[in-house]
Structure 1
Amino acid sequence: MLLAVAFGWFLSISVRMIYPALLPHLRDAYGLTLTTAGLLLTVLWIAYAGGQLPGGILADWAGERLLLIASSLLAATMLTLVVVANSAVVLFVATALFGLGTALYGVSRFTILDEIYPDQLGTATGVTMAAGDLGNAVMPPLAGFVAVTVAWQYGFGFAVPLFVLAAVGLWATLPSRERTGTPLSEHLVLDDVVPTLSRPIVLRQTVLLVLWGVIMQAFIGFYPTYLIDEKGLAVQVATVLFGLFFALGILIKPVAGRAYDSIGVRAPLLAIMGTTSLALGALPFGGEVWVFVVLTVLASSMLGFETIVISDLTRRLPDGTQGTNLGALRTVYIALGALSPVVFGAIADRGYFDEAFLAIAVLAGVVVLVVFASIEY
Structure 2
Amino acid sequence: MRTIKRYAKETTDDLWAGGRGWILLAVGAGWALSIGVRFVYPALVPYFQDDFGIGLTTTGLLLTLLWGAYAIGHVPGGFLGDRIGEGTVVVLSTLISAGTVLVVATAINVWMLFAGTIVFGLATALYGPTRFTIFTDIYPNRAGSAIGLTMAAGNLGNTVFPVAAAVIASYTTWRYGIGSFSPLFLGVAVGLWMAVPNRTSGGGSAVDELSSDTLARIRSGITRESIPIVVAIQVTASFVIQGFSSFYPTYLTVTKGFSPAVAATLFGLFFAVGAVIQPFSGTMLDRLGARPTLVLYFGGCVAGLWLLPFVDGLVPLVAATVLISSWNGCGVVTQTYIADSLPDDMQGTGLGTLKAGWMVVGATSPLLIGTLADYGSFDHGFLLLASVGTVGLLLSITRL
What range describes the TM-score normalised by the shorter chain of this pair?
A: over 0.9
- CA change 1:176–1:199 in 2 (3 A) is closer
Matched, 1:326 2:348: no
1:286 to 2:286 alignment: no
Moved more, 288-297 or 63-72: 288-297
In the alignment, what sits opposite 1:98? 120
Gapped regions of structure 1 (runs ≥ 5): none
Cα separation, 1, equivalents of 2:103 and 2:325: 32
CA distance in 1 between partners of 2:103 and 2:77 (Å): 22
Q: How much does 1:185 deviate?
A: 5.2
Match of 2:72 among 50, 54, 57: 50
Report the 3-state secondary structure (helix = DSSP H, G, I; strand = E; otherwise coil) of the residue aligned with 1:118.
coil
Residue 130 of structure 1 deviates from its aligned partner by: 0.4
Return the match for 2:147 from 119, 125, 129: 125
Other-structure match for 1:162: 184
Residue 218 of structure 2 corresponds to which residue in structure 1?
193
Deviation at 1:184, TM superposition (A): 7.7
Give me the CA root mean square deviation: 1.6
Structure-to-structure mapping, 1:144-155, within 5 angstroms: 144-155=166-177
Distance 1:291 1:317 in 2: 42
Mapped partners of 2:130, 2:224: distance in 1: 23
Give me the whole-angstrom Cα distance separating, in 2, the residues matched to 1:329 and 1:357: 26
Secondary structure at the residue paired with 1:354? helix
Q: How far apart are 1:212 and its partner, in Å?
A: 0.6
- Hey, what's the Cα distance between the residues in 2 that align with 1:252 and 1:227? 23
Match of 1:115 in 2: 137
1:8 aligned to which of 30, 35, 53: 30
Query: Alpha-carbon deviations, 1:19-42, whole Å to 9, x = none?
Result: 011111111211211111111000
Displaced runs of 4 or more, over 4 A: 178-185
For the residues of structure 2 that align with 1:329 and 1:114, how far apart are their CA atoms? Answer: 17
2:102 paired with 1:87: no
**Which residue does 1:220 correspond to in 2?**
245
Listed as ranges, the matches of 1:133-282 within 5 Å are 133-177=155-199, 180=203, 186=209, 189-199=214-224, 201-282=226-307
Letter paired with 2:355: R
Alpha carbons of 1:240 and 1:321: their partners in 2 closer, same or farther (altered >3 Å)? same
In the TM superposition, what are the counterparts of 1:342-361 in structure 2 within 5 Å? 342-361=367-386
Q: Name the structure 2 match of 1:71.
A: 93
The residue identity in structure 2 corresponding to 1:227 is: L
TM-score, length of structure 1 as denominator length? 0.96
Contact 1:273 1:301 in 2 (8 A): yes
Query: Sequence identity of aligned pairs in percent?
Result: 42
Q: Comparing 199-208 with 257-266, which one deviates more in the overlay? A: 199-208
Residues 40 and 162 in structure 2, CA contact (< 8 A), matched pair in contact too: yes
Work out whether residues 133 and 246 of structure 1, in 8 Å CA contact, stay in contact via their aligned partners in 2: yes
C-alpha deviation, 1:285, in angstroms? 2.0
User: Equivalents in 2 of 1:353, 1:127: separation in Å?
Assistant: 34
Equivalent-residue separation in structure 2 for 1:310 and 1:184 (angstroms): 21
What TM-score, normalized by structure 2, do the two folds share? 0.91
Give the 3 Å change call, closer, same or farther, for CA 81–315 of structure 1 in structure 2. same
1:79-120 CA-to-partner distances (Å, cap 9, x unmatched) read 110001011111011000000111110111111111111111
Instruction: Report the number of matched residues.
Output: 375
Whole-Å separation in 2 of the counterparts to 1:31 and 1:180: 51
Query: In 1, distance between residues paired with 2:382 and 2:205?
Result: 49
More off after superposition, 287-296 vs 106-115:
287-296
CA contact (8 A) 1:138 1:243 kept: yes
- Contact 2:90–2:192 (Cα < 8 Å) also in 1: yes
Deviation at 1:129, TM superposition (A): 0.5
* Structure 2 segments unaligned to the other structure (5+ residues): 1-22
